[in-house]
């Protein structure tokens, strides 16, 4: 029998929930391989007629047919600083893709001083062999010599603006608390890459106007949830992975507050988990599961009990996690598809089913079948 042990900690006026062990899955699901042989795939988007658009971290974009045949790399990508955690990362289709063929992707962009996360806009050619009209619309500042913590998840809002998550670049974690840089931030921009109207720090002296929220470490999962609110998860250090709801102008605390510790042990900063003016996590993990990818299930393909749940992958332990929610809180966690591999991305397809990418040199695109 599996037992669910909950640990509740009062933090800065809110409750954070940590699950020290995981509940048994509500129903059996099985993985069905759609395609394999993808080199460190990072993100998947859904094209018409059952095709898939998949990024590979080394700097390639491919189309996968419904029968699993993988296209040659698409032409037209900008130069990518592939190495470490950097490369070609997220991709999303414009909500009006059927009309405009437009998409957005983010990648580690080389340049003076090192590299940084960049957001680009492009059109997919009708024959799906190349990108056209490619334009980098936003670049994280400053560029630094690091191959770590790029963040790089894109979410389009119902207003047609874009959220982009930006990592702290590992060696610059104190930057996450400053408004004069983009490290450790969530930014909100238009589809032209300029600050979106209503951003909280617009007009503040010394603050970059694209910033939406601050105090993040390395956000590799983001999705719109109930009420069109942005949900994210982020990697902690050794322990302390978090689920957060970044609202305008809010500070999520990194590296001042964390439930994690330094790699190899030892406190980070003062070793505190709460501080005035800093948001507590909605949910956290100790030990870390290394989360990646995130989606709210809006279909009933897996039964009514799973609809509305939040799904994300575990890179560290190789499973799909389902978080049950009640009144905006995580109340239970289920560990699904144990052993499926390092889950890098989780998306809901047009057919209402979940799709996963496994991160390896021979990565897979996987359909989750009820």
pLDDT in tens, 150-164: 999 999 999 999 999
Query: For the chain, what is the radius of gyration of the CA atoms?
Result: 19
Check residue 28 and give its pLDDT.
85
Residue 1 belongs to some domain of the structure: no
Residue 74 belongs to some domain of the structure: yes
User: Is the confidence at residue 249, as pLDDT, over 60?
Assistant: yes
Structure-token pair, residue 248: 């305008």
Q: Which residue among the candidates 149, 216, 233, 235 is catalytic per the annotation?
A: 149
The yes-or-no answer on residue 149 being catalytic is yes
> What is the distance between the alpha carbons of residues 38 and 290, in angstroms, rounded to a whole number?
21
Residue 125 belongs to some domain of the structure: yes
pTM of the prediction? 0.93
Residue 20 belongs to some domain of the structure: yes
Could you identify the residue written with the tokens 């988007």? Answer: 45
- Paired residues of 156 in beta bridges: 162
Residue 166 belongs to some domain of the structure: yes
Residue 112 belongs to some domain of the structure: yes
Q: Which of 13-17, 132-136, 174-178, 301-305 has the lowest mean pLDDT?
A: 13-17
CATH number at residue 190: 2.120.10.30
**CB atoms closer than 10 angstroms to residue 248:** 13
pLDDT above 90 coverage of the chain, percent: 92
Residues 130-151: tens digit of each pLDDT:
999 999 999 999 999 999 999 9
Residue 144 belongs to some domain of the structure: yes
User: Is the confidence at residue 26, as pLDDT, over 80?
Assistant: no
Dihedral pair phi/psi, residue 50, rounded to 5°: 75, 15
Check residue 17 and give its pLDDT.
37
Residue 205 belongs to some domain of the structure: yes
> What is the distance between the alpha carbons of residues 190 and 201, in angstroms, rounded to a whole number?
16
* Stronger pLDDT, 1 or 280, i.e. the higher one: 280
Number of domains in the chain: 1
Q: Residue 235 is part of which domain span?
A: 6-369
Check residue 2 and give its pLDDT.
33
């Amino acid at each position: 029998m599996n037992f669910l042990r909950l640990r509740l900690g009062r933090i800065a006026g809110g409750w954070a929930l940590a699950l020290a062990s995981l509940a048994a899955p509500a129903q059996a699901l099985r993985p069905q391989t759609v395609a394999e042989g993808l080199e460190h795939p990072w993100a998947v988007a859904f094209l018409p007629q059952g095709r898939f658009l998949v990024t590979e971290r080394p700097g390639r974009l491919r189309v996968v047919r419904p029968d699993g045949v993988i296209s040659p790399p698409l032409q037209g990508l900008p130069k990518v600083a592939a190495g470490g955690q950097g490369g070609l990362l997220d991709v999303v289709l414009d909500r009006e893709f059927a009309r405009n063929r437009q998409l957005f992707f983010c990648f580690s962009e080389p340049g003076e001083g090192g590299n940084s996360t960049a957001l680009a806009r492009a059109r997919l050619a009708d024959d799906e062999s190349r990108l056209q009209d490619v334009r980098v619309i936003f670049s994280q500042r400053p560029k630094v010599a690091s191959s770590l913590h790029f963040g790089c998840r894109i979410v389009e809002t119902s207003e047609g603006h874009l959220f982009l998550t930006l990592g702290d670049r590992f060696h610059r974690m104190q930057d996450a608390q400053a408004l004069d840089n983009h490290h450790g931030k969530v930014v909100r921009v238009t589809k032209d890459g300029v600050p979106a109207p209503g951003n909280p720090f617009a007009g503040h002296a010394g603050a970059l106007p694209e910033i939406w929220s601050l105090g993040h470490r390395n956000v590799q999962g983001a999705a719109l949830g109930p009420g069109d609110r942005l949900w994210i998860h982020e990697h902690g250090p050794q322990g302390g992975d978090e689920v957060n709801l970044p609202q305008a102008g809010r500070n999520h605390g990194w590296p001042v507050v964390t439930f994690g510790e330094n790699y190899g042990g030892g406190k980070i900063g003062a070793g505190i988990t709460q501080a005035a003016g800093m948001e507590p996590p909605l949910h956290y993990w100790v030990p870390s599961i290394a989360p990646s990818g995130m989606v709210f299930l809006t279909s009933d393909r897996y039964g009514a009990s799973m609809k509305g749940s939040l799904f994300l992958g575990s890179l560290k332990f190789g499973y799909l996690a389902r978080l049950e929610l009640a009144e905006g809180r995580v109340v239970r966690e289920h560990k699904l598809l144990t052993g499926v591999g390092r889950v890098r991305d989780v998306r809901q397809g047009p057919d209402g089913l979940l799709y996963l990418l496994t991160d390896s040199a021979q990565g897979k695109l996987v359909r989750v079948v009820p």
